Amino acid sequence: MNARRFRATLAYDGTGFAGFQRQAAGTPSIQEAVEAAIAEATGQRATVTGAGRTDAGVHAEGQVIAFDVAWSHRDEALRNAINARLPDAVALQDIRQQEGFHPRFDAVTRVYRYTVYQSPAPQPLLRHRVWWVPQPLNGQALHDGAALIPGERDFAALGKAPHGDNTVRRVLQSEWDCALAGSGLLWTYTIEANAFLQHMVRRTVSALVHMGRGWLTADVFRDALQRAELLALPLAPPQGLVLAQVTYDESRWSSTGGAAGNHEQAGNIPAGG
């Protein structure tokens, strides 16, 4: 039986992992865990390719992956077999066959979400999910800073190119939401772009929180974006970051019959920064 290309959505709690990409022997990674589970479930070695390489401690709701294996049963049976062998912090959400699919090169946009918990006291139950900020944040400053980001430009002020030297990116969405949470506020930042620079989301959040604290003005931030020189700011902590979604041109795949028969349909597969 010939191997087939499978596309799947992967969710994980990045706590305790050294990131998505496979590391040196003995260092836990998401890629290594999934490849080991596939090998146990199918008896075949497969290389897992992801839409994005999240850092150590970063989470995902909608990481998109692909791998090739020979499988004669229903797609959901493969998902269940792999999930049964994955650690509790990692799970496939859906799976389907899609020949020719590449999770990174075929992606149209990536969506990241970052959560800040602003409260005088930390909330232990949130310690692996948020950046705790004890100082009050100026909501208007957060919104004003976020509004400066959308558009296509050189974003070298917010990150380095993972490959080559092209730092031009197109940001489609950049906005904050706020909700009450216990004794504090949960500030959730959502950013969507065609692609991201290395550490771009965490440096962006750091800059915006500096604005919310009154440590950075909108004029200085605007000037930094225009000069395209890397901002000398500490990165926001990794645990507040979630790869929320990766979007694809699904009409391309439906027109070629890439998902048919007994496969689960995924629409815009949730899974970039």
CATH of the domain at 239: 3.30.70.660
Q: Is residue 265's pLDDT more than 80?
A: no
- Which of 175, 170, 150, 199 has its CA nearest to residue 52? 199
Asked whether residue 117 falls in the same domain as residue 182, the answer is yes
Say which range, 56-70, 105-119, 144-158, 259-273, has the weakest mean pLDDT.
259-273
pLDDT at 71 over 80: yes
Residue-wise pLDDT tens digits, 137-183:
999 999 999 999 999 999 999 999 988 899 999 999 999 999 999 88
Beta-carbon count within 10 A of 174 CB: 20
Is the pLDDT reported for residue 253 higher than 70? no
Average pLDDT value for residue range 189-217: 97
Predicted confidence (pLDDT) per residue in 224-248, tens digit: 999 999 999 999 999 999 999 999 9
d(CA 17, CA 66): 20
Residues 127 and 234 in one domain: yes
Rounded-to-integer distance, Cα 221 and Cα 231, Å:
9
Domain hosting 193: range is 109-243
Q: What is the structure's pLDDT at 162?
A: 87
Judgement on whether residues 136 and 75 belong to the same structural domain of the protein:
no
Q: Give me the chain's average pLDDT, please.
A: 92
pLDDT at 267: 34
In the chain, the percentage of residues whose pLDDT exceeds 90 is: 87
Q: How far apart, in whole angstroms, are the C-alpha atoms of residue 137 and residue 186?
A: 11
Residues 72 and 99 in one domain: yes
Do residues 125 and 237 share a domain?
yes
Q: Which of 127, 152, 131, 128 is nearest to 210 (CA)?
A: 131
What count of other Cβ atoms lies within 10 Å of the Cβ of residue 269?
A: 25
Our count of domains for the chain comes to 2
Residue type, 117: Y
Between 271 and 30, residue with greater pLDDT: 30
87 and 163 share a domain? no
Residue 262: per-residue pLDDT? 36
Is the model's pLDDT at 43 over the cut of 60? yes
Q: Which residues are catalytic?
A: 55
> How does pLDDT run across 86-139, given as a tens digit for each residue?
999 999 999 999 999 999 999 999 999 999 999 999 999 999 999 999 999 999
Residue 99 is assigned to a structural domain of this protein? yes
Q: Which of 228, 263, 268, 219 is nearest to 246 (CA)?
A: 268
Residue 176 neighbours by CB under 8 Å, 6+ apart:
139, 142, 143, 146, 187, 188, 189, 190, 208
Do residues 82 and 149 both lie within one domain?
Answer: no
What pTM was computed for the model?
0.91
265 vs 67, higher pLDDT: 67
pLDDT tier at 23, thresholds 50, 70, 90: confident
pLDDT bin (cut points 50, 70, 90) of residue 250 is confident
273 inside domain: no
**Alpha-carbon dihedral sign for residues 249, 103, 40, 26:** negative
Q: How confident is the model at residue 254 (pLDDT cuts 50, 70, 90)?
A: low
CA 16 and chain centroid, separation: 17
